[in-house]
Structure 1
Amino acid sequence: MASRFASWDSYFWETGGSVLRNLYGERDGAALAQREYSETTKQQVKIELGLTPIPRTYDAEHMRAIHRQLFGNVYEWAGEYRMVGIRKNLSEFAQPGDVPRYLSDAGRIVRGAQWSTMNRDQFAATAAEVFAYVNQAHPFREGNGRMGKLFMQQVSELSSYRIDYNPAVSGVTPEIWNQVSMLSGPDRGRYEPQSASLVPVFRAMTVERPPAPQASAPGASTALWRDRSPYRASFPRPATAATKPGTSAGPTNRATQTPGRRPDVGRD
């Protein structure tokens, strides 16, 4: 695995290409995006309904398990850390060697927080801090947004709140989400993410957790399905923004656009 995906071009069918290697053998970008979205949505539902148990360890292995379940039928490298630098718009994500540290810090914050006693403001601030580290890690070549949002939903289970990504509920549009996520990266030359921009967004998405329906009650699974928003863990949707190869040797989210860099079909 390490030798197979050790360079930017190795993730594509051909050097200079734009379609990621995939287990379908699909070489059309639009068709791959559709098949990927369909598959990951199906797997997301299975996770949310408890049909595919994910051990709640709240660490890097927890996130890898989510990613592996979501993308295991799409990409050979599902659940494996990327071995290349990546950036998106003005955001330069962690260098591959720094990914484990960011995920370790995210897990440390989760396990050290008193989630059960938090009020809404405390929950939003702590959730924003956790997500800032997960987002800066961007540990996988593709699918970091979907993994991160589902991970945060599972973190919220430790509290009396849940996170509703539906903009009709929170007012947080994909554009707002992408902007504050970009602003949460560390300043140039620094390690620590800046979660302040994420706090009001997480507060807007924080809602009281309703009592869980009885698993044995007639229609319980159907009720959970109806309650599931398409934005819960796939917001923004696939094929909305390209990722590009990273350039810096250290963390920064203020990278400038470099002419001539080619986009791929990377989605979050």
Structure 2
Amino acid sequence: MKQWEDYLQPNGTLRNLLGITDDEELHQLEYDYTVDRSQKLILAKYKLPDGRQLTGQQVGELKLINGYLLGKVYDWAGHYREVDFNKTANGVVTFFHPVALFGNAEMDIQRQLDNFAMLPNDREQLAQALGQVVTEINMFHPFR
């Protein structure tokens, strides 16, 4: 089983395909790269270079998007994390979905996406359902 240390270089910077060892430099490059790739994806009307069309209707598209956005930076881009994850901000710890239950999370999110697609064109209902899906995906947090 992987541990968080497997994702890090000896100095604590994320292991990356570019050989960058400075955390701030890597963070800035990652930001710039994902902004550029996001803009290209929008201009391509959400069609990936390999021809696959993103629709927002399948939870598996999360892997495709992550791989497209970060594939030239990290070798694990497009693959779910293999270790449990939490985040501390302002003294509050948030625990994200445990790896062992990813299958359950995927099924639940897919169910929500399917239900969302069948909603009537009611702005309030759509906003509430979309908010719920986005919250679930955030708590799923399947990538590093």
Q: TM-score, normalising length from structure 1?
A: 0.47
Shift, 1:51, TM fit: 6.1
Given that residues 17 and 73 in structure 2 are in contact (C-alpha distance below 8 angstroms), is that contact kept between their aligned partners in structure 1?
yes
Is it true that 1:38 corresponds to 2:41 in the alignment?
Answer: no
Aligned length: 135
Given that residues 59 and 107 in structure 1 are in contact (C-alpha distance below 8 angstroms), is that contact kept between their aligned partners in structure 2?
yes
Given that residues 116 and 130 in structure 2 are in contact (C-alpha distance below 8 angstroms), is that contact kept between their aligned partners in structure 1?
no
Equivalents in 1 of 2:140, 2:54: separation in Å?
A: 21
Q: Which residue of 2 aligns with 1:59?
A: 58
Given that residues 59 and 104 in structure 1 are in contact (C-alpha distance below 8 angstroms), is that contact kept between their aligned partners in structure 2?
no
Q: Which residue of 1 aligns with 2:110?
A: 107
Greater per-residue helix proportion: 2
Shift, 1:117, TM fit: 2.6
| Higher radius of gyration, 1 or 2 | 1
1:122-201, aligned counterparts within 5 Å? 122-141=125-144
Shift, 1:68, TM fit: 0.5
Unaligned runs of 5+ in 1: 142-268
Is it true that 1:21 corresponds to 2:15 in the alignment?
Answer: yes
SS in 1 for 2:126: helix
- Amino acid across the alignment from 2:85: I
Equivalents in 1 of 2:46, 2:33: separation in Å?
A: 14
Equivalents in 2 of 1:30, 1:122: separation in Å?
A: 41
Q: What RMSD in Å do the two structures reach over aligned CA positions?
A: 1.8
Equivalents in 2 of 1:122, 1:96: separation in Å?
A: 31
SS in 2 for 1:113: helix
Q: Which has the higher contact order (CA 8 A, sep 6+)?
A: 1
Q: Percent identity at matched positions?
A: 29
Shift, 1:112, TM fit: 2.1
Q: TM-score, normalising length from structure 2?
A: 0.85
Shift, 1:109, TM fit: 1.1
Equivalents in 2 of 1:40, 1:57: separation in Å?
A: 18
Q: Which residue of 2 aligns with 1:121?
A: 124
